[in-house]
């Protein structure tokens, strides 16, 4: 599964991505997880299985959710607390719940 995390520049989520990759590996879940700039949303709508938004781009929620809805892409804002402490386990759980 391909999980795309979108943030302002694609860099602030790198630590969270690393922790999500470790959590997935620990659970034997095959996942391609990477961070991208919110400007890459159109490309990610074509290639990802799910998109998560960093809390710092919440202001773009309406625009991004509308685009995702048009392509039936699951999308959500990352839990602010989990994002703040870079809790890869919790964010991975958020993804798995959304994909059930």
Count of other CB atoms within 10 angstroms of residue 17:
17
The per-residue pLDDT for range 65-90, each reduced to its tens digit, is 999 999 999 999 999 999 999 999 99
Give the domain range for residue 82: 2-95
Is 100 inside a domain boundary? no
Q: Which of 5, 6, 7, 48 is flagged as catalytic?
A: 7
pLDDT recorded at residue 13: 87
Is 91 inside a domain boundary? yes
* Report field, pTM of the whole predicted structure over 0.75: yes
Number of domains in the chain: 1
CATH at residue 45: 3.40.50.2300
Is 48 inside a domain boundary? yes
Q: Which residues, including other chains, have CB under 8 Å from residue 12's CB and lie 6 or more apart?
A: 35, 54, 56
Q: Is 10 a catalytic residue?
A: no
The per-residue pLDDT for range 37-58, each reduced to its tens digit, is 999 999 999 999 999 999 999 9
Is 8 inside a domain boundary? yes
Is 30 inside a domain boundary? yes
Q: pLDDT confidence of 9, banded at 50, 70, 90?
A: confident
């Amino acid at each position: 599964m391909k999980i795309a995390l979108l943030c302002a520049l694609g860099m602030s989520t790198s630590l969270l991505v690393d922790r999500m990759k470790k959590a997935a590996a620990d659970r034997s879940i095959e996942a391609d997880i990477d961070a991208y700039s919110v400007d890459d949303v159109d490309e990610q709508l074509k290639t990802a299985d799910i998109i998560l938004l960093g809390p710092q781009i919440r202001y773009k929620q309406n625009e991004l959710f509308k685009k995702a809805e048009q392509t039936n892409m699951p999308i959500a804002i990352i839990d602010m607390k989990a994002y703040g402490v870079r809790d890869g386990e919790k964010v991975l759980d958020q993804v798995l719940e959304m994909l059930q």
